Amino acid sequence: MKLLLVEDNADDVAFLGASLRRQQASDIELVHCRSLKEARELLGGGGFDVVLLDLHLPDARGMECVDGIQAVNQRAAVVALSGQDDEAFAVSILNKGVQDYLVKWEGQGRTILRSIRYAVERKRAELHLNYLAQFDPLTELGNRQYFQDQLRRATARARREGNRVALFFLDIDQFKMVNDTLGHQAGDQLLQEVAQRLGSQVRAGDVMARLGGDEFAILMEGVGTPVDAGTIAQQLLDVIEAPFTIDGHQVKVTTSIGITFYPSDNNDTVRLLKNADIAMYQAKDSGRNNFKFFTERMHTELVEYHELQRDIAEALRKQGFRLVFQPKVNLKTRKLQGLEALLRWDCPKRGPVSPARFIPVAEASGHIVPLGYWVLNSVCETIKAWEQAGLPLVPVSVNVSTRQFQQADFQRRVAGTLEQFEVAPELIELEMTEGLLMEDTDAAHRTLTGLKDLGLRIAIDDFGTGHSCLSYLRRFPIDVLKIDRSFVNEVGASEDSRIIIDAIISLARSLRLETVAEGVETNAQLDFLMERGCFIAQGFLFGMPMAAPQLEPLLNELMEGTALMRVPDFADPLRASGS
Ligand code: C2E
Ligand code: MG
Ligand code: MG
């Protein structure tokens, strides 16, 4: 048992220590501190069973001492130490959740020890009752009170950390019928099995409770988008839809789910649960076995996502995508160093859709995999055509999404495509994001090494925006770091950005990697980069991404560096407009 003695009087400390020793209370580990502040810090670390608290501390008196301790302590019993003259006061603080008080030092060591042990017992019983008050014995889940409690905590955390919390409110659609036809016992069993199945879908850290009757609630921190929440809700619906065997009978039930978010919908926790309830009823009204968001806007967002996903699939089938190429320039020679292939989508319904909008959707839906291969194919096809037309060839960068890279046959398919179009591997550079390094799996390592051995170049795109541990860089066979355009963009305005760029360049230099600056738009940015030693750049200053027919007539000139001398003529609206 671990005891914290909060006492500034050295005599009292010595007395207590001696008393405990005389009682041979060898199971008690005594920790001592002299002020409320120290006590609060120690208790914050947890692990104490009981606190012996003097009410005359250098930094607090009386009730302040008790309040100060209770604010940081839920688990340890508290025994207050009072002087003779404030016994009445000591009695009154028992209402504050203090388990006992001792008048200094009326009792013998034995009385003191007994008081400590009883206090610990009492606290344990209290905690257990508390637990029972928050517990649903049928499903062994928390109950409504527990859920409210957890919801308050989760929302407080989310507020601090700027996170979102998703709340799912579930109701079984045919529960009454099961109860009426098969009896209460069958109903109870169904609830238990529902609880179990739902439990299989939640992650560690999620909170799940039975609110009463056939109502369940689930709380997930860090689930902030309707898309994510929708995916989870669908999984919950699916897992309940599979038939149950109750008492020898096959029983099929469905659920209706209402979803709401903190803080976007409401930040009052009681209101939040009500909103989810309302949304659940809307789900029931619209035919059951589905889910609804509390706000219409969120629902629209989800519907749009699904439409976009469908249209991406269709565009894939109907060759609706095309590629553009953006020059990368060697700043020393001003000559073309390479090109980056970028996807474009002119959707018949929506008009041009930015990759920033559709790539994340394609990633979430998995369409990015066939789309990525389409890009690689088209790039190889284009290079082949340029070669046959006698045009100069430079390496072309292809963006690869992590999801595509993780396909087991990625390396084989890349190799196959290169062979099919007879394109030299040196002409293809693969751009991946930092996320890939963070995985740091053997598989990732093998694939990258394999690609490297084939002769391809590997670049890390948008470098500096992820949270990759820099030591990973050394372990992977990488050729290039592309400095993210957000840093380049802020070179003039942000000291931080300048420092980051400097750091990336010197890091790259020490690892013998090339650096490419993205998004260079102004001469000031260009000057800064050259001064710091980054000699390859890409951006509107040197050229917009262009379709192949537009680029082809320029290729020869770009190789000579002459096209770049005439930047204003170069398809570049920024320059042309004089900005
Ligand atoms: P990224 O790979 O970092 O590509 C560079 C982006 O910066 C391109 O946007 C390009 O048009 C834009 N950009 C180039 N120069 C400038 C400049 O001077 N100023 C500014 N403000 N922007 C500049 P885009 O084409 O909209 O592509 C956005 C992102 O979409 C790409 O970022 C890439 O992550 C992704 N993406 C594009 N094509 C593909 C693809 O084929 N496969 C995959 N997986 N992702 C792609
Ligand atoms: Mg890129
Ligand atoms: Mg980039």
What pLDDT does residue 274 have?
Answer: 84
Please report the pLDDT score of residue 521 as a whole number.
94
**What's the pLDDT at 112?**
87
CATH tag for 326-342+368-560 (out of 3.20.20.450, 1.20.120.920, 3.40.630.30, 3.40.50.2000): 3.20.20.450
344: exposed, middle or buried (Cβ count in 10 Å: 0-12, 13-18, 19+): middle
Domain ranges for the chain, please list them: 2-134, 144-294, 326-342+368-560
Which ligand 1 atom is the nearest neighbour of the CA of 404?
A: 44
Out of 322, 323, 342, 404, give the residue to mutate to test ligand 1, the one with the largest number of ligand atoms within 8 Å of its CB. 342
Assess contact for 253 and 175: CB atoms under 8 A. yes
Question: 């706000």: which residue's tokens?
Answer: 295
Ligand 1 in reach of 356 Cβ (< 6 A): yes
Residue 340 gets the label, from left (phi > 0), alpha (psi -120 to 50) or beta, of beta
Q: How many CB atoms are closer than 10 A to CB 566?
A: 9
CA of 87 to the centre of ligand 2 (A): 74
Rounded to a whole number of angstroms, the distance between the first and last alpha carbons of the chain is 73
Instruction: Report the atom number in ligand 1 closest to the C-alpha of 375.
Output: 41
Q: How would you write 375-394 as a 3-class SS string?
A: HHHHHHHHHHHHHHCCCCCC
pLDDT of residue 88: 77
Question: Mapping DSSP to helix (H, G, I), strand (E, B) and coil, where does residue 572 land?
Answer: coil
Alpha carbon of 430 to ligand 3 centroid (Å): 12
Q: Which residues surround ligand 3, an ion (CB under 5 A)?
A: 461-462, 518
Calculate how far, in angstroms, residue 88's C-alpha sits from the geometric centre of ligand 1: 74
Q: Are 254 and 288 in contact (CB under 8 A)?
A: yes
pLDDT on residue 298: 62
Q: Structure tokens of 375?
A: 């890009």
Q: Does domain 2-134 bear CATH number 3.40.50.2300? A: yes
484 lines ligand 1 (CB under 6 A): no
Q: Is the CB of 378 under 6 A from ligand 1?
A: no
pLDDT tens for the chain, 579 residues long, are 999 999 999 988 998 888 888 888 788 899 999 999 999 999 988 899 999 999 999 999 988 999 999 888 888 999 998 877 777 787 788 878 889 988 887 777 788 888 899 999 988 888 888 888 889 999 999 999 999 989 998 988 888 888 889 999 999 998 998 988 899 999 999 999 999 999 999 988 899 999 999 999 999 998 878 899 999 999 999 999 999 999 888 999 999 999 999 876 666 788 788 889 888 988 988 888 999 998 766 667 778 888 999 999 999 999 999 999 999 999 988 899 999 999 999 999 999 999 999 999 999 889 999 999 999 999 999 999 999 999 999 999 999 999 999 999 999 999 999 999 999 999 999 999 887 777 667 888 899 999 999 999 999 999 888 765 676 788 889 999 999 999 999 999 999 899 999 999 999 999 999 999 999 999 999 999 999 999 999 999 999 999 999 999 999 988 888 766 544 334 443 333 333
DSSP state of 243: P
Domain 144-294: what homologous superfamily?
Answer: Reverse transcriptase/Diguanylate cyclase domain (3.30.70.270)
pLDDT at residue number 571: 42
CB distance 506 to ligand 1 below 6 Å:
no
Question: Quick one: tokens of 565?
Answer: 């001398």
Spatial CA neighbour of 394 closest among 424, 372, 431, 419: 424
Whole-model pTM above 0.75? no
Q: Identify which ligand lies nearest to the alpha carbon of 370.
A: 1
CA distance 490 to 499: 11
Residue nearest atom 6 of ligand 1, based on CA coordinates: 519
For ligand 1, atom 37, which residue shows the shortest CA distance? 342
Tell me what pLDDT residue 568 has: 39
Tokens encoding 518: 């993205």
Q: Which helix (H) or strand (E) holds 103?
A: strand 100-103
Q: Is the peptide bond before 263 cis (omega within 30 degrees of 0)?
A: yes
